[in-house]
Amino acid sequence: MEEYDVVIVGGGCAGTTAAFFLKEYRPDMNVLLIDRLNGKNFDFYHRMCGEAVSENAFREIRPLKAEHVVHNVNYVEERWPGGVVMGIRHRGYIVDRPQLLRSIQSRYQARGGIVERDALLSASVEKEKYLLHCSSGRSIKSRFLIGADGFNSRVRRDIFGSEPQRVIWTEQYLVDRQIPGNKIIFTQGAQYEGGYRWEFPAGKYTRIGFPRGTDTVNEEIIEKHRRAIPTGGLDCIAKGRCYLTGDAAAMPNPLTFGGIRTALLSGRKAAEAILWDDPDMYERWWHSSMFCHPSFLRAFDHFARLDDAGYKESSRVFRSGSLLLPFLKAMFCYPQYRDLYMAYVRSAIVGW
Ligand SMILES: Cc1cc2nc3c(=O)[nH]c(=O)nc-3n(C[C@H](O)[C@H](O)[C@H](O)COP(=O)(O)OP(=O)(O)OC[C@H]3O[C@@H](n4cnc5c(N)ncnc54)[C@H](O)[C@@H]3O)c2cc1C
C-alpha cells in the first residue's frame, strides 16, 4: 500500500497553500495532493467564485503573492434599500483563480510534491494512521491528513462527523456586460435572505451572484455556476493528526461570504501545525482569530429576519455616504441594530 507523510485531499486555495508550505518548510516530507478534478473541470469549478481577494490575504501567505491578477480593486460599493450607497476604500484583486492555483502547485511540484487526480471515497483511522480509499481503487496510508475538500468534505464527515452551522446555496452568472475593473458592488435587501447580490468585474464580463432563487439577471449569460457556501465554523477542526481547512472547516465569513482568504491562510496554518505536530496550535489560531467571531453569524441571522423596512431603517443614518459619525449616531439611536453595526465594523476591520 502507498504510504505518505501527509495526504491533502482537495487542490483548491486551502489544499494548494498547505501543500506549498509543507514543501517550502520541509522539502524532505513525502506529500501527496489529490483532487477529484483536473483540466477543464478543475478550471470550471474554481471559476465558480467571484475571485475577489484582498491585499491582506496575500500578506498573510508570503512568499506567495498576488499573481494572475485580472483587476486591481480599490473600492467597495454597498447599495442599501432606500437609495443609501456607501463606499469603502479597500485594496484587493480579482484573480484568475485556476491559473493562480496551478502556479502555486507547480512550485510545490518543483520541490518534489505530488499532485494526482483522484477522489477520496472514504477515510478512517487505523493504528494512528489514516487509511484512504479512492475512486481509482487504490488505498493510501498517511501519518497526517488535511481535509481541504470543500463544502461537502468527505474528510469532515468521516473523521469529524460534523456539518457546517449554515450552508448558503448560491448561484452566480458570468454575463456579457462590462463594469469598471476597480470596484466590487454589493446590493443588500430582504429578498437576499440575510445575504446580498454581488457584481464583480471579470475582464470584459461581469460576475453576478446571489443566494439561490433570490434574484435574476437580465444580461446575456456566458456561464452559470451553482455552489454552496458553508459558514459559521466548526467546534473542532483538528483531531489527532487530521486538519480541516477552508470550506471543509466552514470558514467563509457569513456576512461577506469571503472564503478565499481563510482558505489560503488555514492551509498555511495547518502546514505549520503539522511541522510542529501540534494540532492544538491550529485549533487555538482559528478559535482566537477575528475570522470566526460569533457576531458574524448572529448578524447574518438577524439580517435574514429583517424586512425591507428594517433594512431601510437600519441604514438610513448612512444616507450622507460617510461612515464614522453616522455609525456613532446609529449605535445611539437604533439599539435594536447594534449587533449589525458592530458586526459590520468588525468585518470592515477583518476585511475580505
Ligand atoms: C459563487 C461563489 C462565489 C464566491 N466568491 C468569492 C469571492 O469573490 N471571494 C472570496 O473570498 N470567496 C468567495 N467565495 C468563497 C470561496 O470560493 C471559497 O471559500 C473557497 O473556494 C474555499 O476554498 P477551499 O480550497 O477550501 O475549497 P474549494 O475551493 O471548494 O476546493 C475544494 C477542492 O477539493 C476537491 N474535492 C472535493 N471533494 C473531493 C474528494 N472527495 N476527493 C478529492 N478532491 C475533492 C474539489 O475538486 C476542489 O478542487 C465564493 C463562493 C461561491 C460559491
* pLDDT tens digits, one per residue of 286-334: 999 999 999 999 999 999 999 999 999 998 888 776 777 888 888 888 8
Q: Which residue ranges in the chain fall short of pLDDT 50?
A: none
- Left (φ > 0), alpha (ψ -120 to 50) or beta: where does 168 sit? beta
Rounded to two decimals, the pTM is 0.96
Identify the pLDDT of residue 139.
97
Distance CA 233, CA 21 (A): 23
Q: What phi and psi, each to the nearest 5 degrees, are found at residue 277?
A: 45, 55
Distance CA 46, CA 55 (A): 20
Identify the pLDDT of residue 321.
66
Full set of structural domains in the chain with CATH = 2-70+91-166+231-292 (3.50.50.60), 295-350 (no CATH)
Identify the pLDDT of residue 149.
98
- Burial label for 199, CB within 10 Å (0-12, 13-18, 19+), is buried
Identify the pLDDT of residue 223.
95
- Left (φ > 0), alpha (ψ -120 to 50) or beta: where does 240 sit? left
**Residue of the CA atom closest to atom 37 of ligand 1:** 149
Ligand 1 shell residues, CB under 6 Å: 9-15, 34-37, 45, 48-53, 119-120, 148-150, 154, 170, 172, 209, 225, 227, 229, 246-248, 252, 257-261, 263, 352
Identify the pLDDT of residue 25.
94
Whole-angstrom CA distances from 252 to 8, 102, 308 are 20, 22, 25
Distance CA 89, CA 9 (A): 36
Identify the pLDDT of residue 326.
82
Query: What is the whole-number distance in angstroms between the Cα of residue 76 and the centre of ligand 1?
Result: 22
- Residue 240: name the closest of 117, 155, 317 by CA: 155
Mutate to test the pocket of ligand 1, among 8, 34, 35, 55 (most ligand atoms within 8 A of CB): 35
The neighbour count for residue 89, using CB atoms within 10 Å, is 7
